[in-house]
Amino acid sequence: MKLTNTYRKALVVFSVIGLPILFSNLSGTKYIIKSTGSHPGSTGAPGDVTCKHSGCHADATVANPATGVNQFNYPVADSTYTPGQTYNISLKVTKSGISRFGFELCALENATNTSAGTLTITDANRTQLLNHTVSGNTRYSITHMLAGTPATPSTGQTTWAFSWKAPLTNIGNVTFYYCTNCTNNNSANSGDALYLNSFTVKPANNIGIAEYMDEQGANIYFDQISRQVILNYTLKQNNQVAVKITDALGRDITRQTAESKSAGNNMDRIALDNIADGVYIVNLCVGDRVMSKKIMIR
């Protein structure tokens, strides 16, 4: 068959461009995926693996914790969060001689190991969101883009920035789990180093008890006939509840051991026989929050 000049040119173009693409598809797919974002679930968190186990960096060394390599920068000095508030966070990696880095990070509620709060992209050129399923629950994480892998501002370090919106309610401690990759940039899944670390934040102490219960609707009083302190209150969620009563000087009169209480209306009765007249303080302890009320006994 006689080939026209145009057809010959087309074959030459395919030979120059098509073959590298073909070889890349046959032997380099993992390396392309690796550089444009980690495999979902490679944070090293409970229920997750690392890139070493997900096939991207098969012979990577893994350091846990990554002392001196990973630096998680949280804007609150005492590492606390206020429900519903948004925090600007950054993750810095420092490793001498490295020109390309990668990472994946997630935020989990300590009590359940499910996603906590909302991760938000603030630099769409360098970071992206992922999700995967762990024990039937969707887990969200953040990872690098291809443009987010080069060292910056100089060889041996890089920083990724993003934001995190805290859960709308106090869910207890939240831990950020993250794995960073210090690559040797050899376009293969060998010779890289993975560094695991975590950072835990806790609810701020100034979070009111109103998050747990209807504070305005609570009714606490002393019944003179039964000589009991009556507590009527409504919980917004299941929680541990305890009651402590002190005198005006703060000395314990009685203390009730914490019990699990269900969401909805609850009532407790505490007998105060043979107690002197005076002012007392009833402390209703719900979870890690306390509501105090003065009562008069006559």
Fold matches, 28-203 and 209-297? yes
Entry pTM: 0.60
Average pLDDT over residues 78-82: 91
The larger pLDDT score, comparing residue 105 to residue 206, is at: 105
pLDDT band at 35 (very low <50, low <70, confident <90, very high): low
In which residue are the tokens 């969101």 written? 129
Phi/psi at 5 (5° precision): -60, -35
Length of the chain equals 298
According to the model, what pLDDT value does residue 22 have?
26
Judged against a pLDDT cut of 80, whether residue 205 lies above it is answered with no
According to the model, what pLDDT value does residue 122 have?
97
Distance CA 137, CA 105 (A): 17
Domains in the chain: boundaries: 28-203, 209-297
pLDDT band at 254 (very low <50, low <70, confident <90, very high): very high
pLDDT band at 187 (very low <50, low <70, confident <90, very high): low
Nearest to 171 by CA among 81, 78, 74, 47: 81
Q: What is the CATH number of domain 209-297?
A: 2.60.40.3080
pLDDT band at 17 (very low <50, low <70, confident <90, very high): very low
Nearest to 85 by CA among 170, 161, 167, 141: 167
Nearest to 73 by CA among 156, 162, 182: 162
Neighbours of 222 (CB within 10 A): 19
Judged against a pLDDT cut of 70, whether residue 201 lies above it is answered with yes
28-203: CATH class: mainly beta
Segment 121-137, tens digit of pLDDT: 999 999 999 999 999 99
Q: Which two tokens stand for residue 86?
A: 């948004």
Q: Which residues lie below 8 Å from residue 17, measured CB to CB, with a gap of 6+?
A: none
pLDDT band at 185 (very low <50, low <70, confident <90, very high): confident
